[in-house]
Amino acid sequence: MSASTDSIVSLRAIFTVPEGKLEEFKSGFAKFYENTSAGTAKTGSCLYYGFGINENTVICREAYKTAKDVLIHIGEVKQEITEAIAMIGNENFRLEVFGPEAELEKLKEPLAPFKKDLYVLDQGSMTFFKAIDQAEVEDDHVVIVPFFTIPDGKMVDFQKNFGAFYEQTKAGTGASGECFYYGFAVCGNKVFCREGYKNANGCLNHLKEVKEQLKVATDLVGEGGLELSVIGPKSELDALKGALGPLGTKFFELENGGLATFY
């Protein structure tokens, strides 16, 4: 499958739920899904949307065509966000936002009330899906979530490796249709790789194709410099635990009701 330049804006809304409140918190998911399905998903502006859970941490993974679409979505779930944050407390909510620098600039002021990190998307980032105006389907794709903490003075060296990652992915899981999107984003001394796959097998195939590049990256950041998690359906997570569990990976099980419009 051919690659296109990635200009999508994605978010990770991260909720730390106090003890004893998780089931109550989960009861609010349906309204989030309902409003998103009737709004930005219906127009094709929301590309994917779903909640994943690991112990008492809940992450909403979500992506939109533009910053404007992000703001439209925030409006359509304003009441639900307000209620969710009130339940857990402001200190237990934060955002991670990833996208082109120009799109992030449009979000700085509207997102000012929230704790957040803005990651500027590298220009080499790619998408591999055919279209983003498909009818809504249940989202069951798998995302690998790596965050690298770069030692002082080594960011330039780390970024030099991006091209090799892109080349291997484009020729491998990107061409086969197993990888949906792939790209690096930077915030301060943190580097994130935004990557999504059709299933667990696609994830494993990708890890094989970038084995050498990943070793270069992990050697550069050193022990403790990589924080890894995965979000996806339980059956897919189970298929990844043997390979990724020993790395200290956190597995976030995707809740029912997630939606996608890009595949």
Whether residue 254 has pLDDT greater than 90 = yes
Instruction: Compute the C-alpha angle 128/130/133, nearest 5°.
Output: 125
Q: Where are the beta strands (DSSP E) in the chain?
A: 4-5, 9-16, 46-54, 57-64, 93-99, 116-121, 126-127, 137-138, 142-149, 179-187, 190-197, 226-232, 250-254, 259-260
Does residue 11 register a pLDDT over 80?
A: yes
Residue-range domains of the chain with CATH: 4-260 (3.30.70.100)
| Rg of the chain taking only CA atoms, in angstroms | 17
Band of pLDDT at residue 37, cut at 50, 70 and 90: very high
- pLDDT of 85: 98
Report whether pLDDT(132) > 80: no
Task: Work out the pLDDT band at 133, boundaries 50, 70, 90.
Answer: low
Does residue 131 carry a pLDDT above 80?
no
Task: Work out the pLDDT band at 136, boundaries 50, 70, 90.
Answer: confident
Output the pLDDT for position 41.
Answer: 95
β pairing state of 179-187 and 116-121: antiparallel
The average pLDDT across 6-27 equals 97
Q: How confident is the model at residue 134 (pLDDT cuts 50, 70, 90)?
A: low
pTM for the structure as a whole: 0.96
Which residues touch 253 (CB under 8 Å, ≥6 apart)?
52, 53, 54, 232, 233, 234, 237
78-103 per-position pLDDT tens digit: 999 999 999 999 999 999 999 999 99
Q: What is the mean pLDDT of residues 10-17?
A: 98
Mean pLDDT, range 141-163, rounded to an integer: 98
Confidence grade of residue 129 (pLDDT, cut at 50, 70, 90): confident
Reply yes or no on whether the pLDDT at 1 is more than 80: no
Residue 40 has pLDDT above 60, yes or no: yes
How is residue 130 annotated by DSSP?
Answer: S
Overall residue count recorded for the chain in this entry: 263
Share of the chain above pLDDT 90, in %: 95
Residue 195 confidence (pLDDT): 98
Residue 97 has a CB neighbour count (10 Å cut-off) of: 24
What does the pLDDT average to over 10-15?
Answer: 98
Range of weakest confidence among 23-32, 135-144, 189-198: 135-144
Mean pLDDT taken over the chain: 96
* 2: confidence class by pLDDT, cuts 50, 70, 90: confident
